[in-house]
Amino acid sequence: MSTHLNEQLKGVEIQVRGPFDVSDRNKFMNNVQGETRRTSIQVPISSTFPTSPTKSSLINPDSVDGRWEELFMICGGTGISPMLQLIKYHLLRESESVEERDRKTRMYLLYGNREIDDVIDSNALREYERSSRGMLEIIYVFSVPPPNESNELSYLQGSITSDIIQKWFSDIKAKNSAHTARQSPTLDFSPTFQPYPPYQYPQVGSPSGIIHSPTSSFPKYGSARNTKIAVCGPPEMMLNVKQTLTDMGYSEREYILLI
């Protein structure tokens, strides 16, 4: 958008507003000037945060502090913007929460771009993931594979298709199930987790890179009450994700399309 505005609107004065925080719809309890406090992730936080969450679909109405137990985020390109706000909100609430200190949040981000140089706020994403103490897991999807020196990134090659989305959910479920099994002393399990055979992710096979799945072999994952799926990106990608989630058994109350 910035490139388009720069080329088409030379000499024209415009106003830009945003990005918006997930708590922007709140009626604050007071209007005192915000205070900056240092946290482990070094993010300024305001003392004007409300004492309880709103009924916004981005915030969990069944939680005192508005956090979801599991938050799945699927985005492409500039669609990362609202996800950054969601990530920041949950990380800050996790560090501040007193009433629900024992409740843990897990966030999973599937972020698609053409190539690694197109990733927006890559430094912030790395810092959030590093400082989250395992709360945040990021998987990138690139149409053009990154150079060898970027091997530290967890990425898939292709585009955000139905197959990749379903495999992403399946891998998360398998990983969490294995972790739960290791924690249980009553279960007999191998101390070494055996990875699944390599999965051949589909390459971009059409101009839109969209593959529709009429029926899904993967069931839905997560509790409807404490799980949310947020989607933001190009229109074609969002339509594909919506269809995939429907095929997997998710209702419209369990996911939100950020347009």
Distance separating alpha carbons of residues 60 and 241, to the nearest angstrom: 22
Per-residue model confidence (pLDDT) at position 32: 33
124 and 87 Cβ atoms separated by less than 8 Å = no
Q: Is 2 annotated as a binding residue?
A: yes
Q: Is 248 within any annotated ligand binding site?
A: no
pTM: 0.67
In a domain, 25, yes or no: no
Instruction: Compute CA distances 228 → 103, 188, 190, whole Å.
Output: 16, 33, 32
- Token couple for 130: 């590093």
- Asked if residue 80 belongs to a domain, the reply is yes
Residue 41 lies in a domain: yes
Please enumerate in sequence order all residues whose Cβ is within 8 A of that of 188, keeping only pairs 6 or more positions apart, or say none: none
The answer to whether position 9 is within a domain reads no
Rounded to whole angstroms, the Cα distance separating 75 from 68 reads 18
Burial of 158 (0-12, 13-18, 19+ CB in 10 A): buried
At 110, the amino acid letter reads: L
Does the residue 1 lie in any domain? Answer: no
Q: What is the pLDDT of residue 50?
A: 37
Number of domains in the chain: 1
What was the pLDDT predicted at 220?
A: 65
**Which letter, b or e, does each residue of 162-190 get, where b requires 16 or more Cβ atoms within 10 Å of its Cβ?**
bbbbbbbbbebeeeeeeeeeeeeeeeeee
The answer to whether residue 146 sits within a structural domain is yes
In a domain, 66, yes or no: yes
C-alpha 17: how far from chain center: 23
- The reported pLDDT for the residue numbered 150 is 62
State the SS3 of the chain. Answer: CHHHHHHHCCCCCCCCCCCCCCCCCCCCCCCCCCCCCCCCCCCCCCCCCCCCCCCCCCCCCCCCCCCCCEEEEEEEHHHHHHHHHHHHHHHHHHHHCCCCCCCCCEEEEEEEECCHHHCCCHHHHHHHHHHCCCCEEEEEEECCCCCHHHCCCCEEECCCCHHHHHHHHHHHHHHHHHHHHHHCCCCCCCCCCCCCCCCCCCCCCCCCCCCCCCCCCCCCCCCCCCEEEEEECCHHHHHHHHHHHHHCCCCCCCEEECC
What CATH number does residue 78 fall under?
3.40.50.80
Give the domain extent around 97. Answer: 35-187+199-257
Please list the pLDDT of the chain residue by residue as tens digits (259 residues). 666 767 777 777 777 655 555 544 333 223 333 443 333 444 333 333 333 344 457 888 888 888 999 999 999 999 999 999 999 999 998 877 665 566 689 999 999 999 999 999 999 999 999 999 999 999 999 999 888 766 678 899 999 999 999 999 999 999 887 765 555 443 333 333 333 333 344 443 333 333 333 334 455 665 557 899 999 999 999 999 999 999 999 999 999 999 8
For residue 13, tell me if it sits in a domain: no
